[in-house]
Amino acid sequence: MTKIAIIIGSVRPGRNGEAVARWVLDQARRRDDAEYDLIDLKDMALPLLDEPAPPSFGQYTNEHTKAWASTVAAYDGFVLVTPEYNHSTSGALKNAIDFLYTEWNNKAAAFVGYGSVGGARAIEHLRGIMAEVQVATVRNTVMFSLFTDFTDFSTFTPAEHHKGEVDAMLDQVVAWSNALKPLRASADA
């Protein structure tokens, strides 16, 4: 079965991303088209990129890198849950992406953003970043406003219409993850 990881892209204390990601996971687990798992970058405890060789060489020397590589390699697609910090994604998420290369290749990604403008600018930056690691990004996104989808900017209270947005996004990421399987298979051969 297709495996999709929902990645919490913030490690900040008091972050809103965990509640958002868990809500997306709850919506996803109502479906039967893929296996959905939650990955918390906080649990991965990645330092700033500390590998001596470029990730495209695949010569990982650190145990934390090897563990992260094994985690990412196990999935066919991803839903990246990103905050918007200073008109972009979080440094933690960018760093986690930068650690690896081949493990991302020929997979699909979707985005869930949150912030004052729904994380739109963070999502746009992530599209370019993911393209560089050969990940196909889907069009449909889900964007949560700190003004309308959170109470006091901290308690997640999503509007009902977001459920349909999540389904449309997941339809695309699952379809694209499946469509890219032949490319992953030929790369593994």
Report residue 78 as tokens: 């991803």
pTM above 0.95, yes or no: yes
Q: How confident is the model at residue 13 (pLDDT cuts 50, 70, 90)?
A: very high
Chain CA centroid to CA 167, Å: 16
Any idea which residue has 């060489």 for tokens?
57
The most distant pair of C-alpha atoms in the chain lies apart, rounded to whole Å, by: 52
pLDDT, mean of residues 3-28: 97
State the Cα–Cα distance between residues 77 and 176, nearest whole angstrom.
8
Does position 57 have pLDDT exceeding 80, yes or no? yes
Cβ atoms within 10 Å of 61's Cβ, excluding its own? 10
Q: Are 134 and 104 in contact (CB under 8 A)?
A: yes
pLDDT, tens only, 89-141: 999 999 999 999 999 999 999 999 999 999 999 999 999 999 999 999 999 99
Span 78-98, average pLDDT: 97
How far apart are the C-alpha atoms of 5 and 72, rounded to whole Å?
A: 8
d(Cα 144, Cα 159) in Å, to the nearest integer? Answer: 9
β-partners of residue 167 are none
**pLDDT at site 167:** 98
The bridge status of strand 3-8 relative to strand 77-83 is: parallel
Q: What pLDDT sits at residue 66? A: 98
Arithmetic mean of pLDDT, 80-88:
97
Angle, CA 160 vertex, CA 9 and CA 18 arms, to 5°: 20
To the nearest 10 degrees (0 to 180), the angle between helices 162-179 and 181-188 is 40
Q: What is the pLDDT of residue 186?
A: 87
Residue with tokens 């349909």: 164
The superfamily (CATH) of domain 3-188 is Flavodoxin domain (3.40.50.360)
Give the burial string for 138-177 (b: 16+ CB within 10 Å, else e). beebbbbbbeebbeeeeebebeeebeebbbebbebbbebb
pLDDT digits (tens, 9 = 90+) for 143-188: 999 999 999 999 999 999 999 999 999 999 999 999 999 999 887 7
Tokens standing for residue 151? 């109470």
Examine the pLDDT at 189 and tell me if it is beyond 80. Answer: no
Beta strands in the chain (DSSP E): 3-8, 35-40, 77-83, 107-115, 135-145, 150-151, 155-156
Q: How far apart are the first and last CA of the chain?
A: 20
